[in-house]
Every structure is written in structure tokens, then in C-alpha cells.
Amino acid sequence: MNRVLVDTSIWISFFKGDKSAKPLISMIESNIICTNELILAELIPSLEHRKEDYLINLLQHVELQNLNINWNEIIAMQAENLSNGINRVGLPDLIIAQNAIQNDSLLFTLDKHFFLMSEILNLKLYQQSS
């Protein structure tokens, strides 16, 4: 089974107890999730500020997918996005998409632009079953 790269948006929903992130519980139990340094860098400072040590510990025990940033590929991805009317995708999300593609991981996200990008790039998304 493919690893599931859990995007920042899902982690935030999970920490808030939102039902959109409910599948994450079984994924954690099944040990199929992964993260990367960028996602951790987006999450951990706020958790440290709020002294959420348990959540920091949880994140630090998730399998890490190393980043291997290929800037030419990032440029090509953004050019493809723009050619298809997908605007305002920031570098962090391009890097997250690239990381998922490189590692053949499914991306679990709530961000709409990833859904749009999956239609034009080789980005595979985790689809929740109804």
C-alpha cells in the first residue's frame, strides 16, 4: 500500500477534532502515514508556542520522507499550473506535491489547489471513502 503524506491542513483539522480528518486515526494505527521536514516546520512552531508536547512527540514519530527538491521540476510544475489557470500555489505546496510525487505517496489534504493540480500533474491524492 502507498504511504500517505499528510498535509498540514489535515493535521490542523485533526488537532481541532474536525471530522474531515477522522480517517487519520486509522492511518496512524495502521502506520501508513508519513511527513516531511516542510510540513513539520509549518506545524511544530505553533505547537511549541502552545506547549502541545504530546502532539509534537506524535509528529516526530511519524515516518519522515526526505525532501529532494528539484527546482527545475518545481518551475515546470508551477508553469503547468499557471497554464491551466491554477494560480496562487506557493512554493511550500509545490514542494509538498513534488515530495509526494517523488515518493509515490498519496497526499491527504483539504487544500483545493492540490485537487486541481492532481488533474494535470502526476499527483495522487488520498480519497476518503463515503
Quote the CA–CA distance of 93 and 15 in Å, as a whole number: 20
Task: Judge whether residue 3 has pLDDT over 50.
Answer: yes
Q: What is the pLDDT of residue 108?
A: 97
Evaluate if residue 33 carries a pLDDT over 70.
Answer: yes
Percent of the chain having pLDDT more than 90?
92
CB atoms within 10 A of CB 120: 14
Instruction: Write out pLDDT tens, residues 64-121.
Output: 999 999 999 999 999 999 999 999 999 999 999 999 999 999 999 999 999 999 999 9
Alpha-carbon distance 33 to 115, whole Å? 19
Average pLDDT score over the chain:
95
Indicate whether this model's pTM tops 0.85: yes
Averaged pLDDT for residues 37-50: 97
Residue 130 has pLDDT above 50, yes or no: no
pLDDT class of 127 with cuts at 50, 70, 90: confident
Q: Outline where 17-52 has alpha helix (H).
A: 23-30, 37-49
For 105, the grid coordinates are: 505517496
Please report the domains of the chain, with CATH numbers, ordered by start residue.
Answer: 4-119 (3.40.50.1010)
Asked if residue 4 lies in contact with residue 27, where contact means CB atoms within 8 angstroms, the answer is: yes
Which pairing describes strands 106-108 and 63-64: parallel, antiparallel, or unpaired?
unpaired
Cα Rg for the chain, rounded, in angstroms? 15
Task: Look at residue 98 in the predicted model and tell me its pLDDT.
Answer: 99
* DSSP state, residue 10: H
C-alpha cell at 129: 471513502
Report how far residue 35's alpha carbon sits from residue 6's, in angstroms, rounded to the nearest whole number.
6
- Using alpha carbons, select from 91, 77, 86 the residue that is nearest to residue 123: 77
Q: Give the three-class secondary structure for 59.
A: helix
Instruction: Please tell me the predicted confidence (pLDDT) of residue 129.
Output: 64
